[in-house]
């Protein structure tokens, strides 16, 4: 799969930083996310720019699906981190609660989830999530 980049300036995760200085460095393979929240933001960005390969690579081996199907009609339009629990550089587990907004055929939708992450050999992975 080609490595897409956002069409608009700034990172899709909403941090306010430039894509390359923010999630782009993780999606393009130059670095790994140092915290669970950073991985959450980069995974949102992967959805926004259509990088299924990154989503699979950052999915926990115990819960990873065989493939990820992205809906080309789904346009991701915003991410808000609501809460974090652990998930820092010195932790092995963490939780991130977020709201992701998207549109399909012009109709707005919201996904609210509390995601669990685990760090294995220095890299964070998405384990699973509870829809709220």
**107-120 and 93-104 beta bridge pairing:** antiparallel
63 domain-assigned: yes
Distances (CA, A) of 89 to 106, 118, 119: 39, 11, 9
Name the residue range of residue 116's domain.
24-131
Q: Where residue 86 sits, what CATH number does that domain have?
A: 3.10.450.50
Average pLDDT over residues 57-69: 97
Between CA 73 and CA 78 the distance in angstroms is: 16
CB distance 27 to 45 below 8 Å: yes
Picking from 54, 99, 53, 95, the residue whose alpha carbon sits closest to that of residue 77 is: 99
113 domain-assigned: yes
pLDDT over 90 at 2, yes or no: no
Beta strand segments in 1-132, E: 74-86, 93-104, 107-120, 123-131
What pLDDT sits at residue 6? 62
What pLDDT sits at residue 46? 97
Q: What is the mean pLDDT of the chain?
A: 94
40 domain-assigned: yes
What is the domain count for the chain? 1
82 domain-assigned: yes
78 domain-assigned: yes
pTM of whole model > 0.85? yes
56 domain-assigned: yes
100 domain-assigned: yes
92 domain-assigned: yes
């Amino acid at each position: 799969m080609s490595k897409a980049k956002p069409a608009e300036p700034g990172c899709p995760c909403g941090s306010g930083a430039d894509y390359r200085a923010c999630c782009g460095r993780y999606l393009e393979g130059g670095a790994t996310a140092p915290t669970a929240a950073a991985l959450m933001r980069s995974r949102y960005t992967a959805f926004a720019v259509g990088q299924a390969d990154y989503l699979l690579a950052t999915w926990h081996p115990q819960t990873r699906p065989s493939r990820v199907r992205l809906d080309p009609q789904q346009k991701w339009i915003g991410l808000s981190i609501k809460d974090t629990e652990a998930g820092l550089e010195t932790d092995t587990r963490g939780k991130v609660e977020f709201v992701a907004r998207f549109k399909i055929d012009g109709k707005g939708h919201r996904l609210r989830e509390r995601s669990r992450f685990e760090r294995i050999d220095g890299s964070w992975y998405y384990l699973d999530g509870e829809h709220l």
